[in-house]
Amino acid sequence: MNTSTQRRVIFSADDFGMSVEVNEAIEEAHRKGLLSTASLMVAAPAFEDALRRAQRMPDLRLGLHLVVIEGDSCLHLPVITDEKGWFGRNQVGLGFQYFFSPATRSALKKEIHAQFQQFARTGLRLDHANAHKHMHLHPTIGHLLLQTGKIYGLKAVRTPMEPAGPMGETPHLGDCALEQWTRVLRWQIWKAGMKTNDSCFGLRWSGHMTPERIQRLIPQLPAGVSEVYFHPAKSQNAQMAALMPGYQPEQELAALTDPATRALLAPHNIQLTTWDAL
């Protein structure tokens, strides 16, 4: 966390490796747009394709997008996944299971180690970490991510605290709950001696980070370090359409590559930054 009055921003993308369509968009957004950072799903169907692209983009910072919900696992442990090695989609149910079941926590620890290990095998530098669906807000997942990440040289973790004001939105009860959960996560990150962001944008408008919205948001970014994260894709395959109905991934790609987006930074004294510069 940074207490400076200066405004800095990290433009990032989640789900690298989910599909070739996502991978294509991340490469385009990095080469032609503002994307400096991506989070890699190491057990996802298009992981190998993502790895090949990453190896020819040495300036793209890569982190681990830890998956413990709605996605593929590395170890296919039956305590925490189905017969295909897939994590469930019920966030509340999984949250209770992850907190109260010792057998589940033991399996999670093994799986999280395996995902960090798979990232390490790529030979890529670990820039940061976060979790799919922000499951690292769960104290058990957050603890295991930080504990395991430290072994693998992890130094920065996303805090998904999204203030309503800069987005022109009115705060609601969900914001209060999110603030309490993020306080726990910030404390865990601080205790682990790692870095985090001050603000994060991409929750309310997930799948709908259109050029118009992003260009309204940029002048309103708060002081400190903001991470603005996206889910870009060139198109949606069948699985993506089922999991993320109504998403506009092509528009999210457009927001990152539109020259008008970049043109807003300098007039508003906003600097591009990266996790390792915090």
Structure tokens at 143: 């603890």
Question: Has residue 206 got a pLDDT over 90?
Answer: yes
Q: What percent of the chain has pLDDT over 90?
A: 95
Q: What 3-state class would DSSP assign to 154?
A: coil
- pTM for the structure as a whole: 0.96
Give tens-digit pLDDT for 98-137: 999 999 999 999 999 999 999 999 999 999 999 999 999 9
- pLDDT reading at 1 higher than 90: no
Token readout for 250 is 């092509």
State mean pLDDT over 230-235: 98
CA-CA distance, 223 to 270, in Å (whole number)?
9
The Cα-based distances of 160 to 56, 154, 193 in angstroms read 30, 18, 18
pLDDT of residue 131: 98
Mean pLDDT for the stretch of residues 159-187: 93
- Taking only the tens place, the pLDDT of each residue in 14-23 is 999 999 999 9
pLDDT value of position 175: 87
Q: What pairing do the DSSP bridges indicate for beta strands 270-272 and 7-16? A: parallel
Torsion of CA 102, 107, 112, 113, to 10 degrees: 110
Residue 55, pLDDT > 60, answer yes
Please classify residue 177 by burial: count the beta carbons closer than 10 Å to its beta carbon, then call 0-12 exposed, 13-18 middle and 19+ buried: exposed
Model confidence at 5, pLDDT cuts 50, 70, 90, reads confident
Distances (CA, A) of 14 to 67, 77, 105, 141, 222: 11, 24, 25, 18, 22
What is the predicted pLDDT for the residue at 118? 98
Per the prediction, the chain carries an average pLDDT of 96
What was the pLDDT predicted at 14?
Answer: 98
Residue-by-residue DSSP string for 158-200: ------SGGGT----HHHHHHHHHHHHHHHHHHHTT-B--SEE
Paired tokens of 52: 């090949």
- Report the b/e string of 100-130 with b at 16+ CB within 10 A: eeeebbebbeebbbbbbeebeebebebbbbb
| 4: confidence class by pLDDT, cuts 50, 70, 90 | low
Whether the per-residue pLDDT at 2 is higher than 70: the answer is: no
The residue to which tokens 């058990």 are assigned: 140
pLDDT tens-digit series, residues 240-264: 999 999 999 999 999 999 999 999 9
Distance (Å, whole) CA 240 – CA 123? 28
Rounded CA separation 88/82 (Å): 8
pLDDT at 177: 87
Query: Mean per-residue pLDDT for 2-12?
Result: 84
